Amino acid sequence: MRRAKDFRAVLLGALCAVAFAPLAHAEEAQVAESRVADAQTAEANGASGTEVAPTAAPAPKSADPAAAPASAATGDSERIEELEEKVDILAEEVGRLESIFAVPEELALESYHGLGPAASKVYKKEGGLSIGGYGENRIRTFHNTDDDDRDNVYDQLRVVLYVGYKFDDKWVLNSEVEYEHGGTEVAVEFLTVDYIWRDELAFRAGNLLVPMGFVNEIHEPNFFFGAERPEIERTILPSTWHENGAGVWGTLADRIEYRAYVINGFNAEDFTSSGLRGGRQGGAEAIANDFAFVARVDVDVAPGLMLGGSVYTGQSGQEQTSDASGTDRDVPDAHTTIYELHAQYKGYGASLRGLWTEAFVDEAGRLSRVLAKDPTAAIANRMRGWYLEAAYDVMPFFLESSRASLEPFFRFERYDTQREVADLGFDRDRTKDIDLYVAGLQFKPIPQIVFKLDYRHFELARTTSSGDRDRADEVQGLVGYVF
């Protein structure tokens, strides 16, 4: 904000210079005219041999010569007061523009109604424009696999810009635009218009982040552990998941947060044996023949302890037909239901998280037939996953007063995207039944910058027919930021 103050001071100085310039120019002109007259008189007298004293500046014409100086002083005083009033008005306008357009240099890393801290900045402003963002640069290497052709990948994973505008205490616009993989993919991750009637009840419409799990809404890299988001929150809870819709949200009794939306449903044609991720429509010309309902509740049970859950339900067939089997066939309704329960504790340097989720797809066997899925690549009737995660900040053991944090962490995930498969000629693919072990280290020199290093080991319930591993271990490094 120091640069903003310096800018304001310079601008006010310039305005004052412009405002008082006419007075200075008038005085200079009067002195110059007097000197020219003196020079002309001296030249004329010089020719005649007569010496004449310098002539004083001509006095303004007035009926009463004694009143002329008082009249001029009064006029100058009134003009100065008028100019000072204009400068005050300009100063107020500069201050107003500064409050609207200035971007805060420091960020209070606080979430607002489930949104990430950077995305929440607009709600904390008195009004006007808000800009934030985050980014991730990641390297991933593969180890202990029989597939020697798999390349290591170094990726500018994403750059994200949040732009919000607070029109007044009631109306707020908020948005997120994401550039992925070095800018080769661009998407609007959310764009909402909020009407905040009161703390207990507000309204939201637009392209909405689906309020399920931990990272679908808060997906800034500084606020989850690991260089990759939890696999359960990518396959069964398909982050980043955003759809078009509208709904309500609010806070009850200062400790219960809720969100409830009606959104367009999945597109079941893009479900796979690996989960529901492909069924997201993302608001891009989304097919809206089928809608869904999603709701979430979080309760602050005690200081640092939060418990909550969410549920999604709606048809996913979108009244379409498919010719994947060689003939046009109606895609079944494929009513899809997902629920999840979650808990989180943060305090005394520790961070603990746990999540459980299940998903159900009605008529999944028929859907797999219509889409001509292979016998071992069926869409499951039921999917299940859960994980536990723990981390601890050890930096106070080295530097007690430092803003930095150093957190070793461990996460265990168990998920199966083919928990139950319809007995219609399809076999359960046991390679989709996976235990995942993630161990790593997270370092933040300041809260807005993060460096991550982790190791991921996958254990499949069944390996390939030859007994080879078909899922490599991974070592990942990431640098991320948020502002």
Alpha-carbon span 281 to 279, nearest angstrom: 6
The most distant pair of C-alpha atoms in the chain lies apart, rounded to whole Å, by: 131
Q: Of the candidates 291, 309, 307, which has an alpha carbon nearest to the alpha carbon of residue 299?
A: 307
Q: Say which residue the tokens 């100065």 belong to.
A: 80
Reading the block at residue 401, the tokens are: 């007063």
Q: Say which residue the tokens 């309760």 belong to.
A: 299
β-sheet bridge partners, residue 314:
292, 336
Q: Residue ranges of the domains in the chain?
A: 2-46+72-101, 129-482
Residue 431 has a pLDDT of: 93
β-sheet bridge partners, residue 340:
310, 357
What is the pTM for the complete model shown?
A: 0.79
Q: Which value, to the nearest 10 degrees, does the dihedral of the CA atoms of residues 112, 301, 227, 454 take?
A: 160
**Which string of DSSP letters, residue by residue, matches 420-463?**
E--TTT----GGGEEEEEEEEEEEESSTTEEEEEEEEEEEESS-
Alpha-carbon span 430 to 418, nearest angstrom: 7
DSSP state, 113? T
Alpha-carbon span 234 to 240, nearest angstrom: 8
The CATH number of the structural domain formed by 129-482 is: 2.40.160.10
Alpha-carbon span 313 to 56, nearest angstrom: 95
Listed as ranges, residues in the chain with pLDDT below 70 are: 1-73, 94-108, 146-149, 463-469
User: Contact at 8 Å (CB) between 158 and 186?
Assistant: no
Residue 299 has a pLDDT of: 97
Alpha-carbon span 244 to 192, nearest angstrom: 9
- Residue 151 CA, distance from chain mean position: 31
End-to-end Cα separation, the chain, in angstroms: 15
Residue 119 DSSP SS3? coil
Residue 142 has a pLDDT of: 94
pLDDT digits (tens, 9 = 90+) for 109-154: 788 888 999 999 999 999 999 999 999 999 999 998 765 568 999 9
Q: Which residues neighbour 344 within 8 Å (Cβ) at sequence distance 6 or greater?
A: 214, 305, 306, 351, 352, 353, 354
Residue 467 has a pLDDT of: 55
Residue 91 has a pLDDT of: 73
